[in-house]
Amino acid sequence: MLFLFSLAPVLLLAQDAVPNPDPSRQIVEAIERSFARTMAERNFEAFSHFIAEEAVFFSGSGPLRGKSEVLGAWKPYFEGPDAPFSWEPERVEVLGSGDLAFSSGPVYGPDGQRVATFNSVWRRGERGDWRIVFDKGSRYCE
């Protein structure tokens, strides 16, 4: 019996050490990273494939409604040789249904300093492709 009690703490520690990855979260995280890479690679056409037709992106001047409005506002960010900012997912959550996902993480300025936090909602389409339906950034406060 003493053996079982001495084994309990080891089992509890082992439970934390064993990863339990959710494949849906891993997929959305990889897609978010691919989306971010479009900015780094200056690939506006690839960027456009991640945006849903009815997407809403919140900006300083008000919401951008629809893919064409979002793309029109974001095209200037892809002009020039250097990306004006970059981002990466820090947190990804997927609904149990597997149809909606949330991603959030830091946005960095060209100097590498964190300047904002992004929040995106992704929707999985009938063919299994993921597109952003909502996106909102907010200034970073330490």
Place of tokens 């040789």: 81
Q: What is the pLDDT of residue 2?
A: 47
Cα–Cα distances (Å) from 139 to 17, 44, 105, 110, in that order, read 34, 24, 12, 15
Q: What is the pLDDT of residue 38?
A: 98
Q: Tell me which amino acid residue 68 is.
A: S
13 is a domain residue: no
73 is a domain residue: yes
Domain count, the chain: 1
Round to whole Å and give the CA distance between 38 and 86: 10
94-129 burial, b for 16+ CB within 10 Å, e for fewer?
beeeeebbebbbbbbeeeeeebbbbebbbbbeeeee
3 is a domain residue: no
CATH label of the domain that carries residue 101: 3.10.450.50
Q: Model confidence at 18, in pLDDT bands (50, 70, 90)?
A: very low
Q: What is the pLDDT of residue 122?
A: 99
62 is a domain residue: yes
Average pLDDT over residues 105-112: 97
10 is a domain residue: no
Average pLDDT over residues 119-142: 94
Question: How confident is the model over 29-87, as pLDDT tens digits?
Answer: 999 999 999 999 999 999 999 999 999 999 888 999 999 999 999 999 999 999 999 99
7 is a domain residue: no
**Domain around 40:** 22-139
72 is a domain residue: yes
